[in-house]
Amino acid sequence: EPEVTQTPSHQVTQMGQEVILRCVPISNHLYFYWYRQILGQKVEFLVSFYNNEISEKSEIFDDQFSVERPDGSNFTLKIRSTKLEDSAMYFCASSFSSYEQYFGPGTRLTVT
Amino acid sequence: GDSVTQMEGPVTLSEEAFLTINCTYTATGYPSLFWYVQYPGEGLQLLLKATKADDKGSNKGFEATYRKETTSFHLEKGSVQVSDSAVYFCALSDRSGGSNYKLTFGKGTLLTVNP
């Protein structure tokens, strides 16, 4: 069964450094998403991406964040200058239609 | 804006007990409703869904019915197993107002089933 994959599974970085989180969505999916889950809190929407552009973003997704689908298979989330409060589990998701989003296993980002 | 409120737990049950996890929602439009499950150390898996009023989603013995009149989508299972121990998230997807199918999640309910 096809699945969404994410790399790395765990990323440790120092405050102020740039990080890129990578995702490979399911191959025929059209909609792509990033969510994050701070430890012990709810899963929060960051951004959605469709037809090679951002279709919606949350207040969390400020100028420090960007997304890209560079080669038709990968979907990346970049944080330009990480802060301590960016420490969280980041989930990528993809869907073919509006109804079912399939999630990857997540990348745990630790900012020190 | 949209929101989901679910029973926070933790919930601890014995094997074969009956499970209910309450979920209510607020949405501007006519949302689709979902339950996701997160097993320890893993990502989110779609457990079941319902897209219109009175629809019943079901999977692996779990059920939830979309109740528009009470804006609820409670998760139930008649006989839980140890392997059901996980965090359960209620979520909605509302396309009104230009929302592009993003999911809005509840806080999650930790379920522990003891043998």
Count interface pairs A-B at CB distance under 8 A: 61
Kindly state whether B99 is in contact with chain A, defined as any CB-CB distance less than 8 angstroms: yes
Q: Among B51, B99, B100, whose Cβ lies nearest the Cβ of A99?
A: B51
Q: In a structure prediction context, what are the per-residue pLDDT tens digits for chain B, which is 115 residues long?
A: 889 999 888 999 999 999 999 999 999 888 999 999 999 878 899 999 999 999 999 999 999 999 999 999 999 999 999 999 999 999 999 876 555 688 999 999 999 999 9
High-pLDDT (> 90) share of chain A, %: 79
Q: Are the beta carbons of A98 and B101 separated by less than 8 Å?
A: yes
The SS3 of residue B52 is: coil
User: In whole angstroms, how far apart are CA B24 and each of A51, A81, B18, B66?
Assistant: 33, 37, 20, 10
Supply the mean pLDDT for chain A.
Answer: 93
Report CA torsion sign: A41, B91, B38, A12.
negative
Q: What are the tens digits of pLDDT across the range A24-79?
A: 999 989 999 999 999 888 899 999 998 889 999 999 999 999 999 988 789 999 99
Q: Are the beta carbons of A101 and B32 separated by less than 8 Å?
A: no
Kindly state whether B6 is in contact with chain A, defined as any CB-CB distance less than 8 angstroms: no
pLDDT of residue A71: 85
Kindly state whether A90 is in contact with chain B, defined as any CB-CB distance less than 8 angstroms: no
For residue A60, what is the DSSP state? T
pLDDT of residue B101: 80
Q: What is the mean pLDDT of residues A4-32?
A: 95
Q: Which residues of B touch A55 (CB under 8 A)?
A: 100
Distance, CA of A52 to CA of A67 (rounded, Å) = 10
The strand pair at A107-111 and A10-13 is best described as parallel
pLDDT of residue A100: 84
Do B38 and B45 contact (CB within 8 A), yes or no?
yes
Indicate left, alpha or beta for B98 from its phi (over 0: left) and psi (-120 to 50: alpha).
left
User: In whole angstroms, how far apart are CA B40 and each of A25, B43, B84?
Assistant: 22, 8, 11
